Structure 1
Amino acid sequence: MVAQINGIQQLGVGVENMSEAWKWYRKYFSMDIRMFEDEATAELMLAHTDGKTRDRRAVLALNMQGGGGFEIWQHTGKKPKPIEFEIQLGDLGINIGKIKTENVKAVYDKFKKENLNLLTKIKKDPAGNDHFFMKDIYGNMWEIKNQKGIFRKKEKSLSGGVLGAVIGTNNMQASLKVYQEILQYDQIIYDKTGTFEDLNGIPGGDKKFRRVLLKHSDVKQGAFSPFFGKSVIELIEAVDYEPRDIYEGRIWGDPGFIHLCFDINGMDAFREKVKDIGYPFTVDSAKAMESFDMGEAAGNFAYIQAPEGTLIEFVETHKIPIMKKIGWYIDLRKRGYHPLPNWIMKLFRFMRVKDKKEK
């Protein structure tokens, strides 16, 4: 098999209390579809966990409007270590998660009514798209961005899943090599340097930056590609500010955005591709076992580290649940590169977790 990227599967979000955090993300971001929930020991992440195995609890949650999901992740074998400083725009790593919506104003009005921490009003980005920025209750920054394309329209949610991320770098050309050559974001939507009115309100957003927004030109063809939809990456480099490493003094899984994960086919081909480009796998589950068991799902995973420090995960999914109550799972290794029928993916809604209404 050749190396093929199928879309953003999930954005990893490290938290101190997974149950509390997931409830918040269900309420406000409609991340209420539980693909898997697992409690185990992360034995293979030694390159990013100070050389020690780490007990953890994790859930992969999706939004039925489509887009990438959240992997909400909590250390259970040690106390999660929060960041000790406020992230400034341009700091190294994942600064902001991008959430897609077809109605930016409706989401803004809802969040304003709920007294959420809105950092900006609705403004236009350099490409003319409406968006606004906010913080969740844990201090993570999110961009709610106009993007057409809903997977399941019969949903009450006003917003969908992950569209991409804003990533701080201190070497734009080096970072572009990873995001363009490895991750296949081959088109530049804009590449602008200056101060930007739409960033005013974000910590550090009044500084001078180079902003490069990337997208992919192809239509993805993997099993879940119709669900994941299009995605973008925005690289941002501070011109007159010395950025800090977001995970300085901390390890993978500590609170914040811990990684960006891509669904792929062809793990063996990817292993050779990234090695040839100069970014070999730092973690490689396929070298340790035939298929990694994630409780209700299974597959292989690997990581590379981009030059600015961002951890990029690749997952080749082998097995997923469709309807757990009747024991219906699909083995994707027999499907090749073909998308699943939409009617099958729409059955994900039966894995929705509903909260009791508060009195």
Structure 2
Amino acid sequence: MEKVISGIQQIGIGIPDVYKATDWYRKHFGMDIKVFEDAATAELMLPYTGGKPHDRTAILTLNMKGGGGFEIWQYTSRTPQPADFDLMMGDLGINCGKIKTIDVAKTFEEMSKAGLDIVTPLEKNPAGDDTFFVKDLYGNIWQVVKGVEFFKKKTPSTTGGVVGAVIGSTVIEKSRALYSDVLGYDEVVYDESGTFADFSGLPGGNESYRRVLLRHSKRREGGFSQMFGPTEIELIEVKEREPRKIYKDRYWGDLGFIHLCFDIQGMDALEKDLESNGFPFTVDSANSFDMGEAAGRFTYVEDPDGTLIEFVETHKVPIMKKIGWYIDMTKRDPRKNLPNWMIGALRFSRMKG
């Protein structure tokens, strides 16, 4: 089977209180569809958890406007640790998650009225589009951008799910060997250097950066590709200081953005493509993992600066858990979209406030 990348499935967020965070993201970001909740031991991530398995609870939520989900992740066998330095834009790792909205200015107004910690003014990015950055309840920074497509427009929130990430890089050309050559982000929306008005207010935001915004020219295919929609990766390179690794001397799952996850089919073909480009798997569940309400195969690679990228080949996914309705993705054409009515049934898993 050839590789099929359906889109960004989720962004992983290490937090100190999984239930408090889930409720906050439901209330303020509209992430109100609970796909699964799973308490288990992370036994396969030993390269990133000090060589020892650790217990954790994870909750995956989605937004019916579309976009990727939030994998809200909390250690239960240890206290998740913050970085021992103040994170700055351009540090190596995921700097910000990107979420989409129907109307950036309207979302800015709504979040301002709700008292959220908005750290930048409503500004134009280098492409001339409205954007702003906001912190969540644990200080993680999110960029709000105008969505290109939406799965459902009439939802309780103006915002949708994840459409990408801002990732720190030391040499952007090396990073593109992964993001452009393998993951298909081949379209350069802008490649600009200097200081930027839309970064004003971010930690280190007044410094000089090179910013490269990448999108995929080829439409994504596969089961949930219409739900995930088009996505983007922004690589940023700080000019006047040495960037630090965000997860230096910490574990995967500690506080912050822990990984960016892609939904794929054809893991063996993807592995060959990644290896030929110099990105071998560092973790491979090999056979189907079981997260109680979902199952599949997962793998990880590191980008040239150590940022963790996850791939999940979904085998089983819950649509309506109450009646035991699960989809076996292994029996479907990997390039074929699931019917919209079927994905739409996820709304029955909506969490109420």
TM-score, structure 1 length as denominator?
A: 0.97
* Matched letter for residue 305 of structure 1: E
Deviation at 1:243, TM superposition (A): 0.9
Residues 46-102 of structure 1, C-alpha deviations (whole Å, 9 max, x = no match): 111111111110011000100000000001111111122221110110001101011
- 1:348 corresponds to 2:346: yes
Query: For residues 91 and 146 of structure 1, what CA distance do their matches in structure 2 show?
Result: 25
Partner of 2:297: 300
Partner of 1:267: 267
Partner of 2:69: 69
* Matched letter for residue 297 of structure 2: N
Residues 13-54 of structure 1, C-alpha deviations (whole Å, 9 max, x = no match): 000110111111111011111111100001111111111111
Partner of 1:124: 124
Partner of 1:236: 236
* Matched letter for residue 296 of structure 1: E
Query: For residues 269 and 140 of structure 1, what CA distance do their matches in structure 2 show?
Result: 34
Query: For residues 241 and 190 of structure 1, what CA distance do their matches in structure 2 show?
Result: 23
Partner of 2:328: 331
Partner of 1:249: 249
Aligned residues: 352
Report SS of the residue matched to 1:36: strand
* Matched letter for residue 333 of structure 2: G
Partner of 1:41: 41
Query: For residues 172 and 150 of structure 2, what CA distance do their matches in structure 1 show?
Result: 32
Partner of 1:309: 306
* Matched letter for residue 306 of structure 1: D
Identity %: 56
Partner of 1:152: 152
* Matched letter for residue 100 of structure 1: K
* Matched letter for residue 7 of structure 2: G
Partner of 1:214: 214
Query: For residues 174 and 264 of structure 1, what CA distance do their matches in structure 2 show?
Result: 23
Superposed CA RMSD? 0.9
Report SS of the residue matched to 1:181: coil
Partner of 2:315: 318
Partner of 1:17: 17
Partner of 1:135: 135
Q: What 5-or-longer segments of structure 1 have no aligned partner?
A: none
Partner of 1:164: 164
Query: For residues 241 and 349 of structure 1, what CA distance do their matches in structure 2 show?
Result: 46
Contact 2:56 2:73 in 1 (8 A): yes
Query: For residues 183 and 51 of structure 2, what CA distance do their matches in structure 1 show?
Result: 27
* Matched letter for residue 132 of structure 2: F
Report SS of the residue matched to 1:249: coil
* Matched letter for residue 242 of structure 1: E
TM-score, structure 2 length as denominator?
A: 0.98
* Matched letter for residue 216 of structure 2: H
Contact 2:121 2:200 in 1 (8 A): no
Contact 2:81 2:250 in 1 (8 A): yes
Q: What 5-or-longer segments of structure 2 have no aligned partner?
A: none
Query: For residues 151 and 5 of structure 1, what CA distance do their matches in structure 2 show?
Result: 18
Report SS of the residue matched to 2:300: strand
Deviation at 1:3, TM superposition (A): 1.2
Report SS of the residue matched to 1:183: coil
Query: For residues 280 and 249 of structure 2, what CA distance do their matches in structure 1 show?
Result: 24
Residues 166-186 of structure 1, C-alpha deviations (whole Å, 9 max, x = no match): 001112121111111121101
Report SS of the residue matched to 2:181: helix
Residues 247-296 of structure 1, C-alpha deviations (whole Å, 9 max, x = no match): 1121100010000000001011111111111110000111xx3x110110
Deviation at 1:158, TM superposition (A): 0.8
Q: Which 4+ residue blocks in structure 1 deviate beyond 3 angstroms?
A: none
